[in-house]
Amino acid sequence: MDTVVLTIAGSDTWGGGGITTDIKTIEQAGSFAVNVITCIAVESSDSSFEIVSLPASLIKQQLQTIANSHQLSAIKIGLLNDAKTIAIVKEFIETQDCPIVIDPVMAFKESSKEIKQIRLEMIDLMKSATVITPNLTEAKIIAESGDIENQLMLADEAKNIYSIVKTPVLITGGARFPGEKAVDVLFDGEKVHFFELPKLDTLNIHGAGCALSSMIAAQLANNEKLEQAIENAKHFVYQGINQGLSLPSGDGGNIWNRIGDINEK
């Protein structure tokens, strides 16, 4: 039977990230994708970025539809725009018995008060995850720490976050460090694992974090071990970045153009 992977995330109207990217990734991995939309990202009348949450009742209805229709093999969780949505999703995942990958998208919050509230709610949620995949900015929010400037600090930050959420932590974004390699780090509670690939000279990274977490979820759904699931997902996203499509909108392009075979490395 095909594995079924649920993505719970926001809709990126631009098509580079969010639930659009999640579905493409999950399907490319050979799993059947189902989705619950939590919010919609749009361009407002003054050309600024706006995120509109769906009503809590509608999010609940979507989750109930999934529960009534599918036996899930894995869950990927992305953008949850408010505390009420986080609580609804937490209640749902407590009824599920499958790997859960959380991409804790929090950097979009504008005020420190919003960030603090979402941080506490997300920490509670992340304790139920199989692995979490914060980027550098999100890692700083979770750990309430300063800038991460090198690989050793990255490893220490992963250990610090593990002590807070008690679940494996993969921090992404190591391409910002000096050197020829882009480095991400996993701390699984016992050992630090580094994942290195050559840096690419491109801005086509919009959606990379969404694709990474979705591919990890799809790999876990197919019984891959965590470290190998991350390794496979990293190579998949690397292909996407390398072949990415530059968009005229100026948002940094996106990774979705001529994605190759997941097994190609």
| DSSP labels, 50-117 | EEEEPPHHHHHHHHHHHHHH---SEEEE----SHHHHHHHHHHHTT--S-EEE----TT--SHHHHHH
> What length does the chain have?
265
pLDDT digits 0-9 by tens, 115-150: 888 899 999 999 999 999 999 999 999 999 988 888
Q: Which amino acid type is present at position 30?
A: G
pLDDT digits 0-9 by tens, 159-214: 999 999 999 999 998 778 888 888 999 999 999 999 999 998 887 788 899 999 99
| DSSP labels, 176-227 | GSSSSEEEEEEE-SS-EEEEEEE----S--TTHHHHHHHHHHHHHHTT--HH
Q: What's the CA gap between 223 and 66, in Å, rounded?
A: 21
Q: What is the mean pLDDT of the chain?
A: 89
Q: Which amino acid type is present at position 120?
A: L
Q: Do residues 4 and 217 touch, judged by C-beta distance below 8 A?
A: no
Tokens coding 169: 């932590």
Q: What's the CA gap between 55 and 60, in Å, rounded?
A: 9
User: In this structure, what DSSP letter does residue 16 have?
Assistant: S
Tokens coding 84: 């009420």
| DSSP labels, 222-248 | TT--HHHHHHHHHHHHHHHHHTPBPPT
Q: Domain spanning 4-242: which CATH class is it, in words?
A: alpha beta
Q: What's the CA gap between 135 and 155, in Å, rounded?
A: 13
Q: What's the CA gap between 196 and 209, in Å, rounded?
A: 16
pLDDT digits 0-9 by tens, 48-100: 678 899 999 999 999 999 999 999 999 999 999 999 999 999 999 999 999 99
Burial profile 115-131: b = 16 or more Cβ within 10 angstroms, e = fewer: beebbebbbebbebbbb
Pairing of strands 4-12, 74-77: parallel
Tokens coding 234: 């990293």
Q: What is the pTM of this model?
A: 0.93
pLDDT band at 217 (very low <50, low <70, confident <90, very high): very high
Q: Do residues 39 and 54 touch, judged by C-beta distance below 8 A?
A: yes
